[in-house]
Amino acid sequence: MLSTGITPAVNVTRSADAQWLIRAAAQTGIPARALQAYVAAAGVANESAPTCGIGWNTVAAVGFIESAHGSYGGGRLTTTGQASGPIIGPSLNGDGFAAIPDTDAGALDGDALWDHAVGPMQFIPSTWQHAGRDGNGDGDADPFNIDDAALSAASYLCANGRDLTTARGWTDAIYSYNQSDAYVAQVHDRARAYAAQSGPTG
């Protein structure tokens, strides 16, 4: 397990001022529109759950692994944070993946037989039903919008009173998102890289 190898430095918190966003986007390769959403999501999640301490770079690492920041399949994020095309994962039909029968009559993923993870943060429709948040204030929780998806992911990771400034709390949070030690390791390495690449946060 990674719990002994994760330090609080895996999380970096800050506010998103314009100059830092431009610089950090260039240094990390994260599209500025996605980075803005990750930083905002971490801030709102920490306001709602002050003991969480989630860092923007943790949210960004999940976003990279799940959809390359909304660019999976050759897409991109619009200026409003919307994925330019639907980001829909493989059928969760038990063939190489978990078997999850349809839970939303195909409303989000277009499949009325099996569920698929959707959007830039790859939420399963049944999870989105209880975890989906409106991150951009338009009155709608849309898993294909990076503001909504990032806030939903950050809030999901902060759930159950987790403290992501501790190694155990951070590991448990990421494991809850995807129950794979390899996934936890990928997120950890990417989050650490983003922290180092983005430079000082003060």
The whole-angstrom separation of Cα 135 and Cα 154 is 11
What is the pLDDT averaged over residues 125-140? 96
pLDDT at 61: 97
Better-scored residue on pLDDT, 19 or 140: 140
Better-scored residue on pLDDT, 121 or 3: 121
Better-scored residue on pLDDT, 8 or 36: 36
Does residue 3 register a pLDDT over 60? Answer: no
What is the pLDDT averaged over residues 43-62? 95
Instruction: List all residues 6 or more positions away from 137 whose beta carbon is below 8 Å from its beta carbon.
Output: none
The whole-angstrom separation of Cα 42 and Cα 52 is 10
Q: What DSSP assignment string belongs to 81-99? A: SBBSS--B----BSSSS-B
- pLDDT band at residue 17 using 50, 70 and 90 as cut-offs: confident
pLDDT at 14: 56
State what percent of residues in the chain have pLDDT above 70: 91
pTM: 0.91
Among residues 88, 90, 92, which one has the least CA distance to residue 120? 88
Listed range (10-19, 26-35, 121-130, 145-154) with the worst mean pLDDT = 10-19
φ and ψ at residue 145, rounded to 5 degrees: -105, 130
For residue 201, the one-letter residue type is T
pLDDT at 131: 96
Q: Whole-number mean pLDDT of the chain?
A: 90
Does residue 200 register a pLDDT over 80? Answer: no
Q: State whether residue 88 is helix, strand or coil.
A: strand
Listed range (3-17, 47-61, 80-94, 173-187) with the worst mean pLDDT = 3-17
pLDDT at 13: 56
- pLDDT band at residue 148 using 50, 70 and 90 as cut-offs: very high
- The dihedral region occupied by 141, where left means phi > 0, alpha psi between -120 and 50, and beta the remainder, is beta
Among residues 171, 183, 190, which one has the least CA distance to residue 8? 171
Radius of gyration of the chain (CA): 16
pLDDT at 91: 94
pLDDT at 12: 57
The whole-angstrom separation of Cα 27 and Cα 110 is 37
